[in-house]
Structure 1
C-alpha cells in the first residue's frame, strides 16, 4: 500500500533554499519513501533575460548538480521527471531571483516486514509435505517402469 501526496515549493531570491527530508520516524511507512519531481516552472514575474538556475543537493550521495536552467523569454519550464529515493534533498536557486516553482509527488510505500521465523516454519512445512509425497512418487515411478517393461 502506498500514500501519495502533491509536493510543491517556490524558490525566490529571498527564499532561495528549500529542503525535503525522508520521514524516518514514520511507523506506518518505515522505508520506501521517495520524492518525484515532475516539473520546474519559471514564474511570470521573472525578469526578462535573467537566468534562473536550480541546483539540488542529495545527502545520500553527496551530489550537488543543477537540474534546471530557466530564462524568461526562452525556457519557462522543464520536465525532469527525477526521483529521490530515501534521501534528504535540498533545492537551491543558485542564480536569479525567480520565482521558480517546483512540483511533483511525495510517495510513501508501505514495506511489508516479514518475520523470518514464520518464513522458516512455512519452508519446514513444505519440506515435510515433500517428504510425505516421496514414497507415493517412487511407487508411481516404479509402476510406470513395470508397465513400460511389460509392453516392450
Structure 2
C-alpha cells in the first residue's frame, strides 16, 4: 500500500531551481519507490506585473533525460495559474524557472511505496489466495465428474409416417 503526502515547492528568483530526489535523502528501504504527481502551477501574488514566468522540468524518459517547459504564467493577467497532470515515477526531477523571477508555486502529491516487509507479506497473501482459488477450481471439477452428464432425452413414439414425435407430458394431478 502506498502512502500519499501533499507536495509543494516554490521557485523564486531568476533561474531558481529545485530538485526532487527523495531516494537520495531517504535511508528507508522502500520497494515500489517514490512517485511525484504535479497538479497545479500558480503565480504568487508578489509576481511582477507583465512578467512572463516559464517553469521547465527535467526528468528521465525510458531512455534519456528530457527538458521541457510545463507552465507559462504571466503576472497581472488572467493566466496566473495552470492545471497540470504530470506524473514522475523516477526521481530525480528538476524544476527550473527558466524565465521570470516568480514566485511560482507547484502543488501536487508525493506517493511512497510500502516498506519491503509489507510487500513480502502481500506476496505471501497472494500466494495463499492463488492456492485457495486453485483448490476451489479442483473441487468444482471433481464434483462435476461425480455427477456425470445431466442430459435427458425426450421420449418419442412412432406415428404412421415413421417420424419421431414427442410424447405428451403426463399430468400427475388428481382429476376431480
The question of a shared fold, defined as TM-score above 0.5 by the shorter chain, is answered with yes
1:31 and 1:25 mapped to 2: Cα distance?
15
Give the equivalent residue in structure 1 for 2:82: 78
Question: SS of 1:78's equivalent?
Answer: strand
Q: Do structure 1's residue 98 and structure 2's residue 102 form an aligned pair? A: yes
Structure 2 counterparts to residues 36-115 of structure 1, below 5 A: 36-61=37-62, 62-74=65-77, 75-84=79-88, 86-88=89-91, 89-108=93-112, 110=114, 113-115=122-124
Counterpart-to-counterpart distance in 1, 2:134 and 2:105: 56
Aligned structure 1 segments of 4 or more residues deviating by more than 6 angstroms? none
Work out whether residues 49 and 73 of structure 1, in 8 Å CA contact, stay in contact via their aligned partners in 2.
yes
| 1:71–1:121 CA distance, 2 compared to 1 (3 A) | same
Larger RCO (CA within 8 A; separation ≥ 6): 1
Q: What 5-or-longer segments of structure 2 have no aligned partner?
A: 157-165, 168-176
Q: Contact between 1:7 and 1:103, CA under 8 Å: does it hold in 2?
A: yes
CA root-mean-square deviation? 3.1
CA contact (8 A) 2:57 2:68 kept: yes
| CA–CA distance in structure 1, aligned partners of residues 127 and 45 of structure 2 | 59
Q: Whole-Å Cα distance in 1 between the matches of residues 35 and 155 of structure 2?
A: 64
Aligned partners of 1:22 and 1:87 also within 8 Å: no
Larger radius of gyration: 2
1:126 shift after superposition: 3.3
Q: What's the TM-score, normalizing by structure 1?
A: 0.74
* Unmatched segments (≥5 aa) in structure 1: none
TM-score, scaled to structure 2? 0.66
Native 8 Å contact 2:14 2:100 kept in 1: no
Q: How many residues align?
A: 146
Contact 1:43 1:98 (8 Å CA) reproduced: yes
